[in-house]
Amino acid sequence: MNEKEMIPGATTASSSAAACPGRREALKLCAGACIGFGLDAAGLNRALADEPTEQRPTKGDRLVVVGADGAPKPLAATDVKLGEKPLFAFPYDADQKLVRDGSRLNKVLLIRLDPGSLDEATRARSADGVLAFSAVCTHQGCDVSEWVPESKTLLCFCHFSRFDPCRSGQVMAGPAPRSLPHLPVAVERGELAVTAPFSASPGAKQSS
């Protein structure tokens, strides 16, 4: 996580580590010892993934803009405008005031499209036309950052994979091997809220 992507006024990956240096550092420094005591690498990775800022978005999380100034402000559906470029966001646990920015795989792309252009499965995961997908390309993990209105696709500039947000993020062109994972959202008290986990593991690998 670079400094630009940090969100002031909330617990973030680095501030969480500062508040609780013991657990995370101990997990890293004692990796060899852990293996000696029967905790294998997969177990160690699972333990590290338990860090709250690294946990994948969960039901009830709000979404906050990556790199916004000031205290985290949950996005409303109306903040995502029809015809504008995608917004990047991180999940936000409003009760704990904790931004889940400890893993780049939590980065979410938000775009608003005409609800009438969405297929049924996609519309069911959207909120007033607002769609949320993993922002991490399933090819080699670059950011999927552009909306191409002419082809109605999301584009990854690294190797030009294109994804169709109107059909659950399926691959339309390029080397990406699978769809962009979809993050179901709804509007709760005017705010965008996560209603279920990602439809598949985000990132270049199938498992995370």
Among 109, 156, 166, 185, binds ligand FES (CB under 6 A): 156
| 92 or 133: CB nearest ligand FES | 133
How many other C-beta atoms can be found within 10 angstroms of the C-beta atom of residue 110? Answer: 23
**x-marked contacts with ligand FES along 158-197 as a string, rule CB under 6 A:** xx-x------------xxx---------------------
- Give the total of residues touching ligand FES (CB under 6 A): 12
Q: Which of 132, 156, 145, 16 is nearest to 75 (CA)?
A: 132
Stretch that binds ligand FES, among 38-46, 125-133, 153-161, 187-195 (CB under 6 A): 153-161
Cβ-Cβ contacts under 8 Å for 147 (sequence gap 6 or more): 85, 86, 111, 153, 154, 155
The SS3 call for residue 140 is coil
Name the minimum Å distance from CB 203 to ligand FES: 10
Name the minimum Å distance from CB 192 to ligand FES: 25
Q: Which of 200, 12, 9, 190 is nearest to 101 (CA)?
A: 12
Say whether residue 201 binds ligand FES (CB under 6 A). Answer: no
DSSP at 62: E
The SS3 call for residue 171 is strand
Q: Which residues bind ligand FES (CB under 6 A)?
A: 137, 139-142, 156, 158-159, 161, 174-176
